[in-house]
């Protein structure tokens, strides 16, 4: 049985679910708190359904980019196995990253298969879960069109004004809120800096094979993911979601199909404890 111990982020979503004002950016992530409230059972349902939606959507997205079925399925498995997608247990089930990825992947799959109307519907859904989602979709389909829904995040900000909630008001989190860049660099220094291989590279597992055939799309996705670390104290859970599908597909495309099951074993079974924070 999983014991729910909400971390600071989860606590703020639960506060928002009870109708309390919360600090930015939690105030613009309004959809799931509005739907689930503080009902953990509802959050578990969303969290549980997000996994199959994400896996199926990534596979269909990869197929839409002319990948074979074995490569598409392998890419989906790799995405689901990444520790930054799994997220820390303190975000289970009250978190927005996994559901946002699921809706973003569904949108991307619709885009590459030519169903633009449904793609935009999923994109609107995704941006209401997490404001960064349209950027993820744009990276995954390599098109600026998903960004047309990005202004909805600004509207949400204007409608749901931020406020310093009791969680953010604690000294450490208030400092992170008020000085995000300084806090990010201090945290990075404490964790071994940008050259900490086990924190910055190893969590990709077999995904590092993507570097064998780099593309501008891959470079852009990784740049966006790692650039987010400039204003975030978390690490793996920050840089992996924006780039995960692009990295997974690129990696699985360069590995011979007959070797894919073996190549995925390290990612699926974690030869060392995964870093999810």
**Residues 6 or more apart whose Cβ sits within 8 Å of residue 250:** 209, 210, 213, 214, 215, 218
What length is written for the chain? 277
**pLDDT < 70: residue spans in the chain:** 1-4, 271-277
* The pLDDT value given to residue 277: 67
CB contact at 8 A, 242 and 224: yes
**Residues 6 or more apart whose Cβ sits within 8 Å of residue 173:** 8, 167
| Per-residue pLDDT tens over the stretch 9-47 | 999 999 999 999 999 999 999 999 999 999 999 999 999
What are the two backbone dihedrals, phi and then psi, of residue 232, each rounded to the nearest 5 degrees? -130, 145
* The pLDDT value given to residue 179: 95
* The pLDDT value given to residue 274: 64
* The pLDDT value given to residue 191: 79
* The pLDDT value given to residue 77: 98
* The pLDDT value given to residue 271: 63
CB contact at 8 A, 4 and 55: no
- CB count in 10 Å sphere of residue 229: 19
* The pLDDT value given to residue 272: 64
């Amino acid at each position: 049985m999983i014991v729910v111990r909400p971390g600071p982020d989860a606590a703020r979503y639960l506060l928002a679910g009870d109708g309390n004002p919360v600090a930015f950016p939690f105030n613009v992530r309004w959809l799931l708190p509005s739907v689930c409230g503080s009902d953990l059972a509802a959050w578990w349902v969303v969290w549980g359904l997000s996994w199959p939606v994400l896996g199926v959507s990534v596979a269909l997205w990869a197929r839409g980019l002319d990948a074979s079925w074995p490569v598409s399925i392998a890419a989906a498995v790799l995405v689901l196995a990444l520790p930054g997608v799994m997220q820390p247990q303190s975000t289970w089930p009250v978190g927005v990253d996994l559901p946002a990825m699921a809706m973003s992947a569904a949108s991307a799959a619709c885009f590459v298969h030519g169903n633009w109307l449904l793609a935009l519907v999923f994109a609107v859904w995704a941006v209401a879960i997490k404001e960064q989602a349209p950027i993820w979709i744009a990276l995954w389909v390599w098109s600026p069109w998903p960004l047309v829904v990005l202004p909805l995040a600004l509207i949400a900000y204007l409608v749901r004004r931020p406020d310093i909630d009791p969680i953010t008001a604690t000294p450490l989190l208030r400092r992170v809120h008020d000085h995000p860049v300084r806090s990010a660099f201090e945290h990075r220094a404490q964790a071994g800096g940008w050259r900490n291989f086990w924190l910055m590279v190893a969590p990709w597992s077999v995904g590092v094979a993507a570097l064998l055939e780099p593309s501008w799309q891959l470079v852009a996705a990784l740049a966006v993911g790692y650039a987010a670390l400039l204003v975030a104290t978390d690490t793996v859970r920050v840089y992996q979601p924006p780039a995960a599908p692009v990295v997974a597909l690129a990696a699985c495309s360069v590995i011979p199909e007959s070797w894919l099951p073996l190549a995925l074993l390290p990612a699926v079974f974690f030869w060392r404890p995964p870093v999810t924070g």
